[in-house]
Structure 1
Amino acid sequence: MKWLLQLAASSAWNRRFALSLVVLCIGLSTFLLLAIERIRHDVRQNFAQSVSGTDLIVGARTGSVQLLLYSVFRIGNATNNVRWSSIEAISRHRAVAWVIPISLGDSHRGFPVIATSQAYFQHFRYGNRQALAMAQGARFDGVFEAVLGSEAARRLGYRLGQRIVLSHGDGVLEANDHADKPFTVVGILAPTGTSVDRSVHISLAAMEALHLDWMAGVPIPGMAVPAEQVGEHDLTPKSVTAALIGLKSRTAVFAVQRSIADFEDEPLMAILPGVALDELWDVVGAGERGLMAMSALVGVVSLLGLVAVIMAGLNERRRELSILRAIGAGPRQILLLLAAEGALVTVAGIVIGASACAFAILLLGDWSQTQFGIALRLQPYGQQEWMLIGILLGGGWLASLLPGYRAYRLSLVDGLSPRI
């Protein structure tokens, strides 16, 4: 068998230019398959780790996926707000351990603003139940103080003590800026790899202070409230966008969920983050399958190219095969020779593709996290990756059997009537 592999390697080297193109095609298909699988896995992991330790998310009645998207990932908008009195009533439920109120709607230079309470820093968890940590500074304490996520601070070049102006809504119109009430950056959070990194955090009182002289999304004419006078007003929030809830015991989750669904003062809903994430993946599953199908198509085309190159060179190699027959090689050995050659080409392509994928993850992992919030990590291959590699390797070997069988037939004919 060793001499057969050496002979197959030498034969392939003599036709290295044509076979190198096939190797590159197989490498490209391997790269695409492994990269898409890694991106799919890491995107799911990043989404799943965005909130940890939260038992329920409460908001106005809407779709569970929509509530998850705007409350955790800052994507989309709420259909309605939740009255503050309702949040207080829920927090008094005997099974509720803590409540993190969240108020959304403002932004700063494209980054979402989230108003919350100190409970956010105490109880919010991400990843493997990791707590938020300050990279610089401290939590907000005064009304016009802000804590930035790591990505927001880095991309905007902000430092502690810098003054920033928030905007109402998406901040597209300059008239929606809250220029009369600037904030001071007092803290910058450590990176988390979640939507927290792309958020600007202020207090609920600050959100209320910003909108004392606003109504229905526009400033009230002639009713400007200067920043130094906001302390004269009641800054208790009237409503919030959503709330994250932690329970004393997870066994009570369904009982509390039903209690919130039956809440009499206003229509509310409570969702389990894990269940909503599964629904989200059902929605985007078609896109995942489409990407995998495209990668598989590239793989099939590469293997067909392998068959075409070997088949096209068979007539030119009849003299070579005849000589091998003359020195004692049997038809089955000719078949094994071409099968080994196809396997070597496939292995070379897989090694190149897998190495390129690993290098790309090492090179672009940090960039992907900063640009798209997707932390790509170089990890040992899982069951899915090894299965894809096995399929490619088996497909390459099977693809080489067709030209191998053709060579087998030719060697029989040429063995009986050699053309030398």
Structure 2
Amino acid sequence: MSPVWHLCWRSIANRRLSVGLTVVAVALAVAMLIGVERLRTEARHAFARTISGTDLIVGARGGPVQLLLYSVFHMGDATNNMSWQSLQQIAALPQVNWVVPVSLGDSHRGFRVLGTTSAFFERYRYAEDETIAFAAGRSFSAAPEGIFEAVVGAEVAARFGYAEGQRIVLSHGSGGGVSFSDHADKPFTIVGVLKRTGTPVDRTVLVSLEGIEAIHVDWQAGAPIPGVHIAPEQVRKFDIAPKTVTAALIGLKNRVTVFRVQRQINTFAAEPLTAILPGATLQELWSLVGVAEQALLAVSALVVVVGLAGLVAVMVASLGERRRELAILRALGAGPRQILALLMLESMSLAVAGIFIGLVVVNVGTAALSPWLAAEYGLHVGVSWPSTAELGLLGAVLAASVLASVVPGVRAYRYSLADGMTIRI
């Protein structure tokens, strides 16, 4: 062991209590920085994986981000619907493999209601081509048998304790806890509960398109028709085929043709429509909402700065106790470089120890919390070696610790030999 290393180790051992607290502060700061970075990265990936396997999303003419928000995230409302006839024409295009219509507009106790077909449970993909799975029950049946059947997402079921066989009432309105009127005369029976996906599907009640039409059969212009009441058992006598839908998810036979089909839909002659690529629009949306993740990372960086400031404070405060030690070293011939090297080595040692302990804390916490994060939020954060981005952050922490040692190093050298050897009373 070199003399500098020996002096560094002995000095740290002599101040083990204050040094230990400093290492703990640095470790917690590093753990927070790396933990936030991993959550931030996984959140971005999970956001991008909200929908996969869908080549195009089609809706009424409007902005791409707005279409994505209401069709996938069920946020906001469409400015207009698209006709069923137009949807059928799009489905008949030779390049189109499948079409899943979605209809929004109603809610249940603050959660959105999604009208669709049973194909939604087969075609909707999320994460790495994951399919929707049932925790209990089944999909709603095709009309007319399954008109008043519903499937609830995992969060809806958990919030209200729903299970198969329970009856629920839908409300007219887009959710958010506010509705115009309840469709209490036409309740739905829960026939299935979905497993948690970490997507907006968890916060959705799914029914058939015919079910959406059925509860509005005695409504007109968004309000009940005065004096008209049609009982559920009489609904099947009326035409409850869907007339319009909010949007549609489209899968193509060959993704090479995606831009050609998009152009065909955007120039559709029957009515003005918009077709978007989900992946590209998700990235555009993330550029708008990703400011929050950057702010969170900035807060973590500030925590690291505070930890390193504590490291500097401890080293500067300890100089008063080490005046005689440093003066003896200088009397023995230690120059500015040796004094500075000693303090830099101590600072780096504390930073390396803090980084190591911080990584251990992050991985232990990840191992303990990853099942819960995956189940509750769909975030698949696993135990792993630091990524390239994380290594860059750790390198920055180490470099900052070296720079932090310059302040006590310069201060220590400025102590004169006579001042260090003088006994203070």
TM-score, normalised with respect to structure 1: 0.90
| Cα distance in 1 for residues equivalent to 2:168 and 2:128 | 33
Q: Deviations over 1:291-339 (max 9, x none)?
A: 3233223323332332233223323311122344566766544322211
Code of the residue aligned with 2:73 in structure 1: it is F
Q: CA RMSD in A?
A: 2.6
Code of the residue aligned with 1:168 in structure 2: it is H
Q: Deviations over 1:354-404 (max 9, x none)?
A: 344444444555555666x35251342321112111111121122113322
> Sequence identity, in percent?
52
The structure-2 alpha-carbon separation of the partners of 1:355 and 1:221, relative to structure 1 and needing over 3 Å to count, comes to farther
Secondary structure of the residue aligned to 1:107 is: strand
Secondary structure of the residue aligned to 1:350 is: helix
| Cα distance in 1 for residues equivalent to 2:106 and 2:13 | 64
| Cα distance in 2 for residues equivalent to 1:416 and 1:231 | 100
Given candidates 251, 260, 274, the residue that maps to 1:255 is 260
Secondary structure of the residue aligned to 1:105 is: strand
Moved more, 48-57 or 2-11: 2-11
Correspondences of 1:6-405 after superposition (within 5 Å): 6-141=6-141, 142-169=146-173, 170=175, 172=177, 176-325=181-330, 331-365=336-370, 368=373, 373-380=377-384, 381-405=386-410
The structure-2 alpha-carbon separation of the partners of 1:87 and 1:408, relative to structure 1 and needing over 3 Å to count, comes to same
Code of the residue aligned with 1:160 in structure 2: it is E
The structure-2 alpha-carbon separation of the partners of 1:212 and 1:48, relative to structure 1 and needing over 3 Å to count, comes to same
Moved more, 22-31 or 155-164: 22-31
| Cα distance in 1 for residues equivalent to 2:182 and 2:375 | 26
| Cα distance in 1 for residues equivalent to 2:226 and 2:375 | 41
Q: Is the 8 A contact 1:38 1:376 kept in 2?
A: no
| Cα distance in 2 for residues equivalent to 1:363 and 1:183 | 39
Q: Deviations over 1:213-259 (max 9, x none)?
A: 22233222211211111100111111111100001111111111111
Secondary structure of the residue aligned to 2:405 is: helix
What is the total number of aligned residue pairs between the two structures?
417
| Cα distance in 2 for residues equivalent to 1:290 and 1:172 | 30
The structure-2 alpha-carbon separation of the partners of 1:206 and 1:6, relative to structure 1 and needing over 3 Å to count, comes to farther
| Cα distance in 1 for residues equivalent to 2:227 and 2:355 | 70
Q: Is the 8 A contact 2:154 2:203 kept in 1?
A: yes
Q: Is the 8 A contact 2:327 2:420 kept in 1?
A: no
Q: Is the 8 A contact 1:361 1:376 kept in 2?
A: no
The question of 1:414 aligning with 2:417 is answered yes
Code of the residue aligned with 1:162 in structure 2: it is Q
The structure-2 alpha-carbon separation of the partners of 1:167 and 1:414, relative to structure 1 and needing over 3 Å to count, comes to same
What is the CA-CA distance between 1:145 and the residue it aligns to?
Answer: 0.7
The structure-2 alpha-carbon separation of the partners of 1:212 and 1:311, relative to structure 1 and needing over 3 Å to count, comes to same
| Cα distance in 2 for residues equivalent to 1:233 and 1:397 | 78
Q: Is the 8 A contact 1:101 1:242 kept in 2?
A: yes
| Cα distance in 2 for residues equivalent to 1:252 and 1:347 | 53
What is the CA-CA distance between 1:100 and the residue it aligns to?
Answer: 0.5
Code of the residue aligned with 2:289 in structure 1: it is V
* Gaps in structure 2 of 5+ consecutive residues: none
| Cα distance in 1 for residues equivalent to 2:247 and 2:392 | 42
Moved more, 87-96 or 207-216: 207-216
| Cα distance in 2 for residues equivalent to 1:2 and 1:211 | 85
Q: Is the 8 A contact 1:95 1:252 kept in 2?
A: yes
What is the CA-CA distance between 1:90 and the residue it aligns to?
Answer: 0.6
Code of the residue aligned with 2:352 in structure 1: it is V
Secondary structure of the residue aligned to 2:97 is: strand
The structure-2 alpha-carbon separation of the partners of 1:351 and 1:110, relative to structure 1 and needing over 3 Å to count, comes to farther
Q: Is the 8 A contact 1:102 1:241 kept in 2?
A: yes
| Cα distance in 2 for residues equivalent to 1:357 and 1:110 | 36
